[in-house]
A and B are shown apart, each in its own frame.
Chain A
């Protein structure tokens, strides 16, 4: 039986991209709570909750050489407890399986959001910066908590290679995260007088980094930075999008209101991303993983427009 690669969150945008990368090269098992629409014929896919016995059975049955854990729920709408249960419990269970069935490699896809925007941030955060993302933004709590569990495994399991990747904001024609939704708004609300430097990375570059992380010997936490940073205004200009500057206090209360009504994809604390820097330093990934982005800055920005403009 060949050693397989298991990917959680297979139905999500990053899951699909990663599967596309591996199909035909490596045997892959896809895993997701959600159904996989348009699943490739040759893909072995299981619609299963990580917390369920069925998930553990997979580990028992198969010989797995690497696990990609992409199933962190970033959709912050919905019940907070349920969200927490899925992210934290799901991750804990997965770690348990990996330990029990001696999976040699676990790669966890996190994000730069765990650091959180803050006026006291140095302009380029390194991997050992505090994870302040949940301060003022409780929705980040479960993500950070899940990451903490992965981190403890990183230190206490010498025989398992654990890799945590923290990429900057992922954009591209197929991803559908809040950043992309925000930038695709057409007429984009911004905070008057603030124009922070933002870092973006193309979805294909993230897949590239994920693939590099699988190499034997690689373990630890890596920031993954794309082709650089530009002010928000430059991104909007490159996209040909208009912007509506709103004074910050008004934007805060408006956003809170709209969020509560469920009419807006962001909550008020996330507005801090439009005020303060939350940029990271990717030197470690460049050195140890040999990672370098393949898409230039203009290409990365333009990819936000989606497939039609490609």
Chain B
């Protein structure tokens, strides 16, 4: 498209952006239409407003530190991260790191559960922020368009895991590996350190099936203090981006064969987590 991305970002947002970050943004390749929307409904102005609103949390509250952003290969990439902390702050922090610190900046996209797309306001917000309905077709299409996809292969079991299992990866699904093989996408493991301690989980509350609600956490403060009980503690967040891993093979191989490849990613991520936990001296700073 002809127009530069800045023509879709309002003046006030441009002023609030760090000049360096704005300069990096200007150079990215994009496919926004005449009205500034990409085919999935993302709008850069909406996205940046949201990102700027969260930025104080990123800078001051969680004091996010990133390592290895230089490892990101050009073009399509699958980011495979550990999921933790009952509330999905990990995804937001990774997205902000990619937007404000990576060069060139990247719009991280996650595959969001069907459930969320039936909710008013939430579904619209997700779309404007570049998130997409979690179907394999969507993921494949995004990778073919050289986008950055963020996947938490542990899924709900990862985010809702109890505190005593922190930094132990749960079982990984195989879907991401099949897509990576099919689209020849490099995989970058991302270790998120700190999110486990924000909202320590005890277990899951029972929810009736059929409502579509994936889980309700049980923590020392939730549901006892109401929504306030989910306010995360200011644990310091460290994001480690590993070296890209490339895999070859048939995307339709049997589970056993694909699982072997998945295991290599999982082991790599687990060792990055172990290193990260060992290296930090304190949970809060």
Take A229-B39, A297-B33 as given contacts and tell me if A193 and B133 are in contact as well, using a CB distance cutoff of 8 Å: no
B40 near A195 (CB under 8 angstroms)? no
Q: Which of B34, B41, B118, B135 is A197 in contact with, Cβ under 8 Å?
A: B41
Residues of A within 8 A of B133 (CB): 119-123, 277
B124 near A194 (CB under 8 angstroms)? yes
Q: What's the minimum C-beta distance from B28 to chain A, rounded to whole angstroms?
A: 20
B138 near A123 (CB under 8 angstroms)? yes
B35 near A297 (CB under 8 angstroms)? yes
Q: What's the minimum C-beta distance from B128 to chain A, rounded to whole angstroms?
A: 8
B40 near A123 (CB under 8 angstroms)? yes
Q: What's the minimum C-beta distance from B42 to chain A, rounded to whole angstroms?
A: 10
Take A194-B120, A229-B39 as given contacts and tell me if A120 and B135 are in contact as well, using a CB distance cutoff of 8 Å: yes
A248 near B33 (CB under 8 angstroms)? no
For chain B, residues 114 to 135, give those with C-beta under 8 angstroms from any C-beta of chain A: 114, 117-124, 127, 132-133, 135
A296 near B41 (CB under 8 angstroms)? no
B34 near A297 (CB under 8 angstroms)? yes
For chain A, residues 183 to 204, give those with C-beta under 8 angstroms from any C-beta of chain B: 191-197
Q: What's the minimum C-beta distance from A228 to chain B, rounded to whole angstroms?
A: 5
Size of interface on A: residues with Cβ below 8 Å to B? 27
Take A194-B124, A197-B127 as given contacts and tell me if A231 and B117 are in contact as well, using a CB distance cutoff of 8 Å: no
A231 near B41 (CB under 8 angstroms)? yes
A123 near B117 (CB under 8 angstroms)? no
Is A234 on the interface with B (CB-CB < 8 A)? yes
Is B20 on the interface with A (CB-CB < 8 A)? no
Q: What's the minimum C-beta distance from B214 to chain A, rounded to whole angstroms?
A: 15
Is A239 on the interface with B (CB-CB < 8 A)? no
- B15-58 near A? 1/0 per residue, CB < 8 Å: 00000000000000000011101011100000000000000000
Q: What's the minimum C-beta distance from B22 to chain A, rounded to whole angstroms?
A: 25
Take A122-B135, A123-B141 as given contacts and tell me if A192 and B120 are in contact as well, using a CB distance cutoff of 8 Å: yes
A248 to B122, CA, bound (A): 14
Closest to B117 in A: A119
Size of interface on B: residues with Cβ below 8 Å to A? 23
Is A230 on the interface with B (CB-CB < 8 A)? yes
- B133-148 near A? 1/0 per residue, CB < 8 Å: 1010110010000000
Is A242 on the interface with B (CB-CB < 8 A)? no
Q: Which of B34, B122, B141 is A124 in contact with, Cβ under 8 Å?
A: B141
Residues of A within 8 A of B119 (CB): 193
- A188-225 near B? 1/0 per residue, CB < 8 Å: 00011111110000000000000000000000000000
Residues of A within 8 A of B35 (CB): 230, 234, 297
Residues of A within 8 A of B123 (CB): 193-194, 275
Is A240 on the interface with B (CB-CB < 8 A)? no
Residues of A within 8 A of B117 (CB): 119, 276
Closest to A194 in B: B120
Q: What's the minimum C-beta distance from A281 to chain B, rounded to whole angstroms?
A: 8
A119 to B126, CA, bound (A): 13
A248 to B120, CA, bound (A): 8
B114 near A123 (CB under 8 angstroms)? no
B34 near A191 (CB under 8 angstroms)? no
Closest to B119 in A: A193
Is A298 on the interface with B (CB-CB < 8 A)? yes
Closest to A124 in B: B141
A194 to B120, CA, bound (A): 5
For chain A, residues 114 to 134, give those with C-beta under 8 angstroms from any C-beta of chain B: 119-124, 126
Q: Which of A193, A195, A230 is B33 in contact with, Cβ under 8 Å?
A: A230
Residues of A within 8 A of B137 (CB): 122, 124, 126
Q: What's the minimum C-beta distance from A302 to chain B, rounded to whole angstroms?
A: 12
Take A124-B39, A230-B35, A297-B35 as given contacts and tell me if A193 and B120 are in contact as well, using a CB distance cutoff of 8 Å: yes
- Please name 12 further chain A to chain B contacts, defined as beta carbons within 8 Å, in addition to the given A191-B120, A297-B34, sorted by A numbering: A119-B133, A121-B133, A121-B135, A123-B40, A123-B138, A124-B141, A126-B137, A193-B124, A197-B40, A197-B127, A297-B33, A297-B35
Provide 10 A-B residue pairs closer than 8 Å at the C-beta atoms, listed in order of the A residue.
A119-B118, A120-B114, A120-B135, A192-B120, A196-B127, A197-B40, A197-B127, A228-B33, A229-B39, A298-B34
